[in-house]
Structures are given as structure tokens and as C-alpha cells.
């Protein structure tokens, strides 16, 4: 059967001429006609041992002329026209298969070019996984500053920097096997419903990376008292090796059910103490006490700030980075004309999804004369900030959520 079909596809079949004077097909090749289930007449054509059946319909009369359709071919009278059967039109349609093969080859070529480009850019981490450094005590990860991470001045925003620092810290915990089922929690912490919360953050910016720059972030952890831990970061320019940003933070544990601070259990300490680096903090601790700030003494006030769903992390409280955006919301005049040089934040209580927040800012000093009214002409501006709870969630109205201090320098044109 296969040989017969192959022969038929390669060699044209000679069709016998229809008998003249008949309005319908009669006996062709001495084979009787038959009727199929639809009432159509079928004729068998015997050609060299191969039978070909042809279906025909009853003739129809159009404008006094009898016409019939046979195998999709229109006939008029006794004249039947057939499409020429050649080797070419008997072959299957290979266009779909050819298009698929072409798509696969183009995709493979693109991936190969991308990998070849990555090998020529050792500053990039092609898979975004980072790596362990400093004999297993530190972690390093590279980031490309993308277009949606910069502001109008083409510099990376402080929120972008803080997100990269936070991402590196979590990847560090995951790489050394300390990531349990919780978000940044060790296996023993997960058993006890504990998770890390930051109590203080200090960031100093020497220069902001710009769009297209590749930055290298190094991080490590160190002992910081009996019931807390310190994490430091250094952010460098991959091209020059210059240190752009230094940051240091303090972390404690909180119980997920009671939402209260907890001591570090001995089991948890045993999981992390072998990773502690014996080194001083990269940023000197800012021991200056932040004065109390109220709405009556604030220079700028922004009310009615509420978290969105995208602002919450898996621990069901507002992400640490979101607080920075709220802090800067109440200082539009400073943000417009100055560049953030350093920021110190003290986290007092968590903010949850139903909280309503008020942002206050007071200018502590501008320039050498300390005249707050002349900040437009000052080379240095210091501001004090506080985020207050207006109610909602678990925070009582007026309770402090975050206190902070920022230092600013003029934007360079």
C-alpha cells in the first residue's frame, strides 16, 4: 500500500476520457458505480492496479446549462478539467515545518550571542545569583542600573539602592543555607515563628550610580551585642572599583504571632555565629539623639499616607524601603534642589496594611549660619523626619513609626 501511494505521488495518473453524450458518469474501467451514504454517486477508476474513487453530485441546471461538481471540480456538459498533477504539487506543505526550524535556530543563535556577550562583560552576573567571597564569610552580587530605577537626573534613586542592599542580604542568607521556609528566617527561627526586623539603618552616599552602570554589592554580618546582629554593605562601581555607598544596619528578632521583640535563642545563634565577621562597621554609628518632632514644630507635613498591597512583604508589614519614600514625601523643596548625601533611620514600630501614616519634616540647619530660611543658597542641609501613626492597624494615633535624619548637598548640574 505504501509503495502504491508513493508511486502515485511521483507519477501522474492518466484519467480516462468520459463517454460522450452522457450527462452523468457511466461505467469507466469496467467498474460498476455505487451510491454512498449521502446519496452521491461514486465511480471507481482502475488504473494499473490502483483504484481511484470519484464522487459526483447530481447535476444542477443554471441558465439552461447543466453543470456538475466532481471532486471539487466544476464540469459543464461533458467537459471536465483537472488540475495538472505533478511531483511538486503532490509533495506535502513544508512551510510550517520550515518556519518552526527557522525559529528554533534564531532563538539558539540569540542565546549563544547573549552568552558570548556575557563572557566579555565579567562585571555582569548573567544569572543574578551572586557568589560567596571572603572564605565563605561574605557575599557579592552585581546589579545593572536599569532605566526604570533612575530619576529625572539619570541617577539611581535611594529606593533603588536600598532594594539592592536588601536583595543582596536575602540572597546571602539563602546561599549559606540559612533560608528556611520563612522570608529571611533560619530553619530554627521558622520553628519558633521568629523573623528579623531592622531597628536602625545608616547609609552614606558618596556618589550615585547612573543609568547603565554596573554596581558590585558586598555584604556580611557581624556580632552586635547579645540579642542583635549587624549587617554591613559596600557598593562599588564595577568599572572603576570606587566605593560609591556605605551602609550599616542593626537587626533584632520579632515573634510573628505576638508581634513582640524576642531574644536570640541559642539554637539560632548556633546557626549564624560561625558567619560573623570580626570587623568594625563600615559606617560610624551616629549617636546623635534625634529630638522630638511634632506637627506644631514641623516645617512640612504630609497627611493620609497609606500602604498599598505592593508595599507589604511576606511578614505582613510594610517593607523597610517604603518608609524612605514616605519620609521624603514631606520635604518637596529639599528633594527638588538637593541630593541626599546620608540618611539615618530608627525603626520604632511596624506599619501594617490598615495603617494611616503622617510624615513630618523639620529643617535643622542650612549653610554655615544655620539659617533655615536660606536653604536655597546653602551647600549643606540637615533635616529631621518622623512618621506618625494616624490610626488603623495596631498603631495608636500619634505613635512613632520611624524617626530619621537626612543630610543633603546641592545637585550637580
Q: Which residues are catalytic?
A: 315, 317, 351
| Grid cell of 98 as nine digits | 520550515
Calculate helix-pair angle for 320-329, 158-175, nearest 10 degrees. Answer: 170
Round to whole Å and give the CA distance between 400 and 187. 32
Per-residue buried b or exposed e for 299-331, using 16+ beta carbons within 10 Å of the residue's own CB: bbebeebebeeebbeebebbbbbbbbebbbbbb
Q: Are 313 and 322 in contact (CB under 8 A)?
A: no
Strands (E), 27-110: 34-35, 41-47, 50-56, 60-62, 65-70, 73-76, 79-80
Distance between the two ends of the chain, CA-based, in angstroms?
83
* Residues contacting 104, CB < 8 A, separation 6+: none
Task: Name the grid cell of 253.
Answer: 528578632
H or E segment to which residue 341 belongs: strand 338-347
CB 246 within 8 Å of CB 343: no
Contact assessment for residue 162 and residue 321, using Cβ atoms and an 8 Å cutoff: yes
Q: Is residue 119 exposed (0-12), middle (13-18) or buried (19+ Cβ within 10 Å)?
A: exposed
Amino acid at each position: 500500500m505504501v509503495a502504491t501511494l508513493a508511486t502515485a505521488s511521483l507519477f501522474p495518473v492518466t484519467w480516462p476520457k468520459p463517454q460522450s453524450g452522457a450527462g452523468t458518469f457511466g461505467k469507466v474501467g469496467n467498474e460498476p458505480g455505487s451510491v454512498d451514504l449521502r446519496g452521491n454517486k461514486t465511480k471507481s477508476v482502475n488504473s494499473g492496479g490502483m483504484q481511484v474513487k470519484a464522487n459526483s453530485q447530481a447535476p444542477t441546471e443554471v441558465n439552461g446549462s447543466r453543470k456538475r461538481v466532481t471532486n471539487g471540480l466544476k464540469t459543464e456538459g461533458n467537459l471536465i478539467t483537472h488540475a495538472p498533477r505533478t511531483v511538486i504539487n503532490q509533495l506535502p506543505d513544508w512551510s510550517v515545518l520550515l518556519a518552526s526550524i527557522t525559529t528554533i535556530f534564531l532563538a539558539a543563535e540569540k542565546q549563544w550571542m547573549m552568552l558570548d556577550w556575557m563572557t566579555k562583560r565579567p562585571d555582569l552576573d548573567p544569572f543574578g545569583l551572586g557568589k560567596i567571597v571572603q572564605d565563605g564569610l561574605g557575599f557579592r552580587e552585581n546589579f545593572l542600573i536599569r532605566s526604570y530605577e533612575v530619576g529625572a537626573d539619570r541617577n539611581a534613586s535611594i529606593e533603588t539602592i536600598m532594594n539592592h542592599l536588601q536583595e543582596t542580604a536575602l540572597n546571602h542568607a539563602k546561599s549559606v543555607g540559612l533560608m528556611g521556609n520563612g522570608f529571611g528566617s533560619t530553619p530554627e527561627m521558622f520553628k519558633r515563628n521568629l523573623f528579623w526586623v531592622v531597628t536602625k539603618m545608616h547609609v552614606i552616599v558618596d556618589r550615585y550610580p547612573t543609568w547603565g552602570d554596573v554596581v558590585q554589592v558586598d555584604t556580611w554580618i557581624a556580632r552586635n551585642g547579645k540579642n542583635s546582629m549587624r549587617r554591613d554593605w559596600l557598593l562599588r562601581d564595577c568599572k572603576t572599583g570606587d566605593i560609591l555607598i556605605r551602609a550599616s544596619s542593626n537587626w533584632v528578632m520579632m515573634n510573628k504571632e505576638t508581634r513582640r521583640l524576642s531574644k536570640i535563642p541559642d539554637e539560632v545563634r548556633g546557626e549564624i555565629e560561625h558567619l560573623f565577621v570580626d570587623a568594625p562597621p563600615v559606617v560610624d554609628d551616629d549617636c546623635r539623639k534625634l529630638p522630638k518632632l511634632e506637627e506644631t514644630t514641623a516645617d512640612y507635613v504630609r497627611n493620609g499616607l497609606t500602604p498599598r498591597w505592593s508595599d507589604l512583604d511576606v511578614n505582613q508589614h510594610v517593607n523597610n524601603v517604603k518608609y524612605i519614600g514616605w519620609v521624603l514625601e514631606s520635604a518637596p523643596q529639599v528633594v527638588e534642589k538637593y541630593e541626599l548625601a546620608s540618611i539615618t533611620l530608627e525603626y520604632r514600630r511596624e506599619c501594617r496594611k490598615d495603617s494611616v501614616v503622617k510624615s513630618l519634616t523639620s529643617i535643622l540647619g542650612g549653610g554655615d549660619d544655620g539659617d533655615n530660611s536660606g536653604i536655597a543658597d546653602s551647600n549643606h542641609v540637615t533635616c529631621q523626619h518622623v512618621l506618625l501613626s494616624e490610626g488603623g492597624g495596631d498603631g495608636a494615633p500619634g505613635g512613632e513609626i520611624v524617626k530619621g535624619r537626612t543630610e543633603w548637598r546641592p545637585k550637580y548640574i
